[in-house]
Amino acid sequence: MAHTFLLLQAREAGDPAAAQELDSFAEALEVPVTTVRPWDLLAGPPTAADLEGVDALLVGGSGAFSVLDDHAWIRQFMDFLEETSVHRRFPTFASCFGFQALVVAGGGVVVRDPERAELGTYDIEVTREGLADPLLGPMAPSFPAQEGHKDRADRLPDGCVHLARSALCDYQCFRVEGAPVVATQFHPELTREGEAFRCRTYAEMYKGAGVAEEMAAVIASLRDSPEASAMMKRWVAQTLPT
Q: What is the pLDDT of residues 173-220, one digit of tens each?
A: 999 999 999 999 999 999 999 999 999 888 776 665 555 558 888 999
| Maximum alpha-carbon separation in the chain | 47
End-to-end CA distance of the chain: 5
**pTM, whole model, 2 decimals?**
0.95
Q: What is the H or E stretch that residue 230 is in?
A: helix 226-239
Exposure string over 112-132, b if 16+ CB within 10 A, otherwise e: eeeebbbbbbbebbbbebbee
Residue 229 confidence (pLDDT) = 97
Partner residues linked to 36 by β-bridges: 5
For residue range 142-159, list pLDDT tens digits in order: 999 999 999 999 999 999
**Cα–Cα distance measured from residue 153 to residue 221, given in angstroms and rounded to the nearest whole number:** 25
Residue 159 confidence (pLDDT) = 96
Mean pLDDT taken over the chain: 95
Average pLDDT, consecutive stretches of 10 residues, N- to C-terminus, the chain (242 residues): 94 94 98 98 97 97 93 97 97 98 98 93 98 97 96 97 98 97 98 95 69 78 98 97 81
**Cα–Cα distance measured from residue 35 to residue 231, given in angstroms and rounded to the nearest whole number:** 19
Residue 172 confidence (pLDDT) = 98
Closest CA to 143 of 186, 80, 94: 186
What single letter denotes the amino acid at residue 60? G
**Cα–Cα distance measured from residue 124 to residue 139, given in angstroms and rounded to the nearest whole number:** 9
Please report, for residues 37, 80, 114, 215, the alpha-carbon distance to residue 152 in angstroms, rounded to integers and kept in the order given: 28, 21, 9, 21
Residue 209 confidence (pLDDT) = 54
Residue 208 confidence (pLDDT) = 57
